[in-house]
Amino acid sequence: LAMVTTADSPSLFPSSARVVDVLLPLAIGSAYSYRVPDGMEVAVGDIVVVPLGTRTMLGCVWPRPAEPKPVDPAKLKAIQRRYDVAPLNAAMIAFIEWIADYTVTPPGMVLRLALRHDESAGITRERIGVRLTDHRPERRTKARDKVIAALEDGFVRAKSEAAREAGVSPSVVDGLIDDGVLETVVLPPEPAAETPDPDHAVPELLPAQAHAAAQLVASVKARAFQPFLIDGVTGSGKTEAYFEAVAETIRQGRQTLILMPEIALTQAFLDRFARRFGVRPAEWHSAVSTKRRGRIFRGVASGEVSVVAGARSALFLPFRDLGLILVDEEHDNAYKQEDGVHYHARDMAVVRARLEGATIALVSATPSIETEVNARRGRYTRLALPERFAGTKVPRLEPIDLRREGPPRGQWIAPRLAREMQSTVEAGGQALLFLNRRGYAPLTLCRACGHRIKCPSCSSWLVEHRFRRRLECHQCGYAMPVPNECPNCHEPNALIPCGPGVERLHEEAAKLFPQARLQVLSSDLAGGVERLRAELKAIEDGEVDIIIGTQLVAKGHNFPGLAMVGVIDADVGLGHGDPRAAERTFQLLHQVAGRAGRHEVEGRAFLQTYMPEHPVMQALVAGDRDAFYDREIAIREEAHLPPFARFCALIVSGTDSHAAQAHARALAACSPFTDKVRVLGPAEAPLALIRGRHRFRLLARCERSFDLSGYVRAWMAGAPRATGSLKVEIDIDPQSF
């Protein structure tokens, strides 16, 4: 020991003691330096376990700046070990840096999106196996003997397996490890997924499909970044066409990421994939177990998993060699993350494809305005699939003018809609009533004093949920029993539900169609994802006559027997002064109507509206998609709205309204002056109060080509710090502006 303390001992203090930077998944400005112990090889991209304070955590070896600050390696803590998972590649590192830069977030927070697939453990658990040593315990118990007997054969078993085989609790195994009777070994990971076969069942494509597929395949073969928009009505065979690009990517030995807005509920998609490729793709979303996610994470990093179908978080998986990204239903709101790192997964997917040299296709029957503009300007290559595969027509949309032919007060199904439903169900078809409102009634009102029951900590009305017998806040989850008297004037039995939710619509439909089999489909369904999947299956199998659903039904489900759709309140989303209202309404109603008549049956769709002359309704009814886009794009251009300008929203929130507003004003006052940017506000944010936090919003607007992120970074660097409960969130490209 004395020897190693001498300065010239080469083994402990080499003159070139190696120092690396490690980015930690934390909100800190930059990577920290660590010493690399002798005998350890680490390279940029490696995932390593490092000490931080009293904790240990995972980090990623990060590129060092060109001129790193000089540090004394002796003062640095050492990396504990390399974590056994394949390293992040250069494109992934560049992607993390890019997003951090663009969203004005510390890179560690973006790294966290990549590493947080196993939050319960903090880090991905390795599979630990145990094996018997020659040492025998001094303390013997029956349980211990059982374990020893089970492992007598000398083979390695997973820890949990050893306990199970011996019929003892895992703590017994742990005790034997501590006493040196068992030794641990890191097991190789279980296989993450089977390999899809690109030639399993190759379909015959229609000419338009074949043309689209050929362009995608050529791009995959070229192994270079190229963005596409696959644009075709629901049922036109977009999926079948892009499967050919997936097949080519598999043949090239590269990986595919398929992003979907509601992957947990689109099990039918996985089956379809399996019919084409022989096996299901690896599934990635919050309903997948942490253990399974850990396995997929490793398989993606090693390259063993070739196709992932996932929610937006899958964008942060460390693919070894990503060759193709598909963003299904690219217009969907679910791609926008609005807490933590604010990002739009569709836009970031395009960035990632560029960095990876990959092909990307955005897929939609109703592209976002942003994407449509990109396609019109030739930035994205449009692949059009104009007709439905089965030859059926996209359903005609017929307006029902609620001013002239509405239902009686307190009812929501117009007589004409009821007649159509009647004949549809009698003919053996399914009908869908669409109402984007969960619960029984969106508002509870006192008949005596006019009081409306509000959430105590949000600026939203409480929604009655009759099945659960309570009022709920859809913002924060607050719930209370339905009171017997008005909380304001204490008049008994004066509270009345106002307006319909799906539960109330169900009640009405049940009265109108006592013989029919009804099913409500909303995210409130008791039993969670499993139950929803079962109900979706029942609908597919024709076990339901009338479906009453929220927007959940608009997303990619395939109901073969669905013959008609009735939209109860087509105007819901319009008229809030939200600049995206028209776009959202058009997309949603087009998607919902598109659920009808996908197969042999011709579909019909009815829109109950008070505004049949509204341009959105007119475009839907006329089936004139271009008219809608032409008009909407012109409005955006004229008003300097995205994509013709860019916005950044700063949301200042705090428990004290005055303090939050004052901080927002102070931020506005210190915004760097340039004639390129206009700072608007502060004003109350669209949701002015959430969970007891008052929210104010500043909007910065600039021309498209301006470096808005750089501007905001400089702004924040010179801004007063948010203290106490105050918080500032930065949202580049906000959804509302």
Q: Report if residue 236 touches ligand ADP, rule: CB under 6 A.
A: yes
374 near ligand ADP, rule: CB under 6 A? no
The beta-strand segments (E) located in 462-503 are 463-465, 470-472, 479-481, 495-498
Task: Show Cβ contacts of residue 499 under 8 Å, excluding neighbours closer than 6 positions.
Answer: 437, 441, 442, 443
Residue 234 C-beta: closest distance to ligand ADP, Å: 4
- The reply, when asked if residue 486 is annotated as ligand binding, is yes
Nearest Cα neighbor of 559 from 581, 577, 582, 543 is: 543
Angle, CA of 472, 475 and 476, to the nearest 5°: 75
- Cβ proximity to ligand ADP: between 89 and 234 the closer is 234
- 395 sits near ligand ADP (criterion: CB under 6 A): no
Whichever of 135 and 275 has its CB closer to ligand ADP, that residue is 275
195: number of Cβ within 10 Å? 14
b/e sequence 354-387, b meaning 16+ C-beta within 10 Å: bbbbbbbbbbbbbbbbbbbbbbeeeebbbbebeb
Q: Please tell me the count of residues contacting Zn ion according to CB under 5 A.
A: 7
Site for Zn ion in 259-278 (CB under 5 A): none
* Nearest-angstrom CA–CA distance, 511 and 500: 15
**Residue 235 contacts ligand ADP per CB under 6 A:** yes
Q: Which helix (H) or strand (E) holds 243?
A: helix 238-251
Q: End-to-end CA distance of the chain: give it in Å, rounded.
A: 67
From Zn ion, ligand ADP, none, interface partner of 455 (C-beta below 5 to 8 A by class): Zn ion
By CB under 6 A, is residue 203 in contact with ligand ADP?
yes
CB atoms within 10 A of CB 538: 14
Q: Residue 476: name its binding partner from ligand ADP, Zn ion, none (Cβ under 5 to 8 Å by kind).
A: Zn ion
CA distance 179 to 161: 19
- Does 473 count as an annotated binding residue? yes
Task: Choose, by CB under 6 A, the member of 112, 127, 157, 238 that binds ligand ADP.
Answer: 238
Neighbours of 253 (CB within 10 A): 10
Report the C-alpha gap between 334 and 317 in whole angstroms. Answer: 18
In the complex, what is the shortest distance from the CB of residue 249 to ligand ADP, in angstroms, rounded to a whole number?
18
- 458 lines the binding site for Zn ion (CB under 5 A): yes
- Site for ligand ADP contains 234 (CB under 6 A): yes
Choose the contact partner of 638 out of ligand ADP, Zn ion, none; CB within 5 to 8 A by kind. none
Partner that binds at residue 209, options ligand ADP, Zn ion, none, CB closer than 5 to 8 Å by kind = ligand ADP
Q: Which amino acid is at 159?
A: K
Does the footprint of Zn ion cover residue 455 (CB under 5 A)? Answer: yes
**497-516 positions binding ligand ADP, by CB under 6 A:** none
> Closest separation between CB of residue 209 and ligand ADP, Å?
6
Our CB check for ligand ADP shows the closer of 390 and 722 to be: 390
Closer of 240 and 370 to ligand ADP (Cβ): 240
In the list 175, 237, 281, 429, the residue contacting ligand ADP (rule: CB under 6 A) is: 237
Residue closer to Zn ion, measured from CB, 473 or 702 = 473
- Nearer residue to ligand ADP within complex by CB, 368 or 661: 368
CB of 194 to ligand ADP, least distance (A): 22
Q: How far is CA 226 from CA 66, 304, 317, 350, in A?
A: 32, 25, 21, 9
Please give the full DSSP string across 413-453, using - where no structure is assigned. S-HHHHHHHHHHHHTT-EEEEE----SSBSEEEETTT--B-
Other CB atoms within a 10 A radius of the CB of residue 87 amount to 21
Tokens 């599979």 identify what position? Answer: 127
459 belongs to the binding site for Zn ion (CB under 5 A):
no
Residue 477 or 720: the one with the smaller Cβ distance to Zn ion is 477
Q: What's the distance, CA 365 to chain centroid? A: 20
- The number of beta carbons lying within 10 Å of the beta carbon of residue 694 is 22
464 counts as binding ligand ADP under rule CB under 6 A:
no
- The answer to whether residues 543 and 411 touch, using CB atoms and an 8 Å cutoff, is no
Instruction: Sketch the per residue contact string, 207 through 226, with ligand ADP: x for CB under 6 A, - otherwise.
Output: --x-----------------
Considering the complex, state which of residue 238 and residue 342 has its C-beta at the smaller distance from ligand ADP. 238
Partner touching 270 among ligand ADP, Zn ion, none, CB below 5 to 8 Å by kind:
none
Q: Which SS3 state, helix, strand or coil, does residue 66 take? A: coil
What is the footprint of Zn ion within residues 664-723 (CB under 5 A)?
A: none
> Applying CB under 6 A, which residues contact ligand ADP?
203-206, 209, 232, 234-240, 389-390
Where is the binding site, in residues?
446, 449, 455, 458, 473, 476, 486, 489
Site of interaction with Zn ion (CB under 5 A): 455, 457-458, 473, 475-476, 478
Binding-site residues from annotation for Zn(2+)? 446, 449, 455, 458, 473, 476, 486, 489
